[in-house]
Amino acid sequence: MPREGEPARAARPLLAALGLPTFGLAFAISVLTTYGPVVLIRLTDSTSQVGALIGAEGAFALIVPLVAGVWSDRLPGSPITRRLPFILIGAPLMVAGLVALPFSGSIAPAAAAILAFFVGYYAYYPPYRALYADLLPERLYARAQSVQAVLRGAGLGAALLAGGLLISVWLPLPFAIAAATAIATTFALVPVLRLDGKCTNPLLPYEALPIRRLLARRDVSAVAAANTCWEFSFSGLKSFVVLYVVRGLGYSPSVASGVIAVVAVAYVVGAPLAGRLADRYGIVRVLRLASLVYGIGLVAGAFPTTLTPLLVGLPLVALAGAIVMTLPQALLFTIAPVGSAGAAAGLLDVSRGIGLVLGPVVVGAVIESSRSLFDSTHGFAAMWPVIGVPVLLTLLLLRMLEPRQ
């Protein structure tokens, strides 16, 4: 733990150990949501049934995180005794779901495996994220989220790149490796929790804040609403950007992969940059500027009918988007009252779940109804203002936080 006045780099070992479960969680959920359909389509001919099972993530994200987060605030004792039970319950459920899914002989046990995974994932994640607020000084929140964002991106990339190769060797292999990764990265918390157990200056006792009082705060509600807008935009974008390039503009899937690669590189660069900028200029100020650039860039995507103009502005817009997606947790932990870190983490996941559910549905409906208006791209250009305007609306929500920036 860095002492007061020491540079932020002194905290790198602690932030790396604390962030490693993020890699395991991202790897696990990416394997399940990306390659789970390969298993499910062998058990049923209904693609809508496959979509409903994988899309159940959004439904679980609306319920389980808030329950787990609030309960982890109310347990007595240190961060170990408050957060660890949920991690120890969630990890086995995730592992059981991953291991059981590829061996399912029918759709019913496969659905049960996916159910177990999502319950375990969302029971684990908010209490784990609350450890950041429990263990770190406020000045390290933004830097910690940068580390976490890089590890999350690495987990997603590793799953997408390695999963296809592994599944061609043996169907259960990527799921087994994802389960082992989730277990191994969870054990990375052992030295962090040992550090908390040896701490000579433990957190002062506090009374857990009721969720009603947390939601009644305008600043907390503003951050949750802004996060819903950001997640709505990102969810709609990732659902239709490939179709926009392939069907809307008429390019090959390999070109679409190149566009996604540019976005991925921007994400890897933007995540650590977000922490440094927030340390220097303040989280709110950085989020407002990044949201302005990101939102304007997305809305402007409605006008080009070829890929060249998009590629010119894509790196800057993707970089701003990476910053926007990195800092919300640090911002919410900064303004949440003492005693509500778990509830705040759960609230952030619930707001993400709302965006996750609404984004693809709304964007898909708008594209379908706008084919005559955007006939040169078969309606797909309509996605850009739909996902850009909510990002610009967050500028109004963030104005509520200006006195705290």
Selected residue with higher pLDDT from 115 and 159: 115
Any idea which of 186-190, 235-239, 270-274 has the lowest mean pLDDT? 235-239
> Distance from CA of residue 343 to its chain's centroid?
17
CA-to-CA distance for 123 and 57, rounded, in angstroms?
A: 13
Residue 243 to residues 155, 284, 380, Cα–Cα distance (Å) = 24, 34, 8
pLDDT tier for residue 403 given thresholds of 50, 70 and 90? low
pLDDT tier for residue 262 given thresholds of 50, 70 and 90? confident
pLDDT of residue 47: 65
Q: What interhelical angle do 79-100 and 189-198 show, nearest 10?
A: 170
Q: Above pLDDT 90, what percent of the chain?
A: 27
What are the φ/ψ torsions at residue 316 (nearest 5 degrees)?
A: -65, -45
Is the model's pLDDT at 22 over the cut of 90? yes
CA-to-CA distance for 233 and 244, rounded, in angstroms?
A: 15
CA-to-CA distance for 116 and 96, rounded, in angstroms?
A: 7
Report the pLDDT averaged over residues 123-135: 87
- Return the DSSP state at 395: H
Contact predicate 57/114, CB 8 Å? no
Report the pLDDT averaged over residues 82-92: 90
Residue-wise pLDDT tens digits, 149-171: 888 888 887 887 787 778 888 98
Measured CA angle at 345 (ends 328, 359), to 5 deg: 60
Closest CA to 224 of 206, 207, 239, 211: 211
Question: What's the chain's average pLDDT?
Answer: 84
pLDDT of residue 215: 74
Query: Which residue matches tokens 């005559």?
Result: 372
As a residue count, the chain comes to 405
CA-to-CA distance for 373 and 343, rounded, in angstroms?
A: 44
- Highest mean pLDDT among 38-47, 162-171, 243-252, 375-384 belongs to 375-384
Any idea which of 38-52, 138-152, 376-390 has the lowest mean pLDDT? 38-52
Report the pLDDT averaged over residues 309-331: 88
Q: Which two tokens stand for residue 102?
A: 């590829």
Fold of 211-404: Growth Hormone; Chain: A; (1.20.1250)
pLDDT of residue 306: 82
Closest CA to 121 of 154, 146, 150, 155: 155
- Return the DSSP state at 244: I
Question: What pTM, to 2 d.p., does this model score?
Answer: 0.78
Query: Which residue matches tokens 């779901």?
Result: 97
Closest CA to 329 of 315, 342, 339: 342
What are the φ/ψ torsions at residue 185 (nearest 5 degrees)?
A: -75, -25
Selected residue with higher pLDDT from 54 and 175: 175
Measured CA angle at 277 (ends 276, 279), to 5 deg: 65
Residue-wise pLDDT tens digits, 88-103: 999 999 999 999 999 9
Report the pLDDT averaged over residues 28-45: 84
Domain boundaries, the chain: 8-198, 211-404
- Contacts of 218 by beta carbon, 8 Å cutoff, 6+ apart: 400
Fold of 8-198: Growth Hormone; Chain: A; (1.20.1250)
- Contacts of 190 by beta carbon, 8 Å cutoff, 6+ apart: none
Contact predicate 347/224, CB 8 Å? yes
Is the model's pLDDT at 405 over the cut of 50? no
CA-to-CA distance for 300 and 381, rounded, in angstroms?
A: 10
> Please, what is the end-to-end C-alpha distance for the chain in angstroms?
25
pLDDT of residue 390: 96
Measured CA angle at 318 (ends 250, 268), to 5 deg: 115
Is the model's pLDDT at 321 over the cut of 60? yes
Residue-wise pLDDT tens digits, 344-387: 888 888 888 888 888 888 888 888 888 888 888 888 889 999 99
pLDDT of residue 143: 82
CA-to-CA distance for 245 and 212, rounded, in angstroms?
A: 44
> What's the number of CA atoms in the CB half-sphere (13 Å) around residue 89?
16
Give me the DSSP letters along 355-388: HHHHHHHHHHHHHHHTTTTTGGGTTGGGHHHHHH
CA-to-CA distance for 251 and 308, rounded, in angstroms?
A: 12
pLDDT of residue 209: 62
Any idea which of 193-197, 260-264, 336-340 has the lowest mean pLDDT? 193-197
Domains 8-198 and 211-404 share a fold: yes
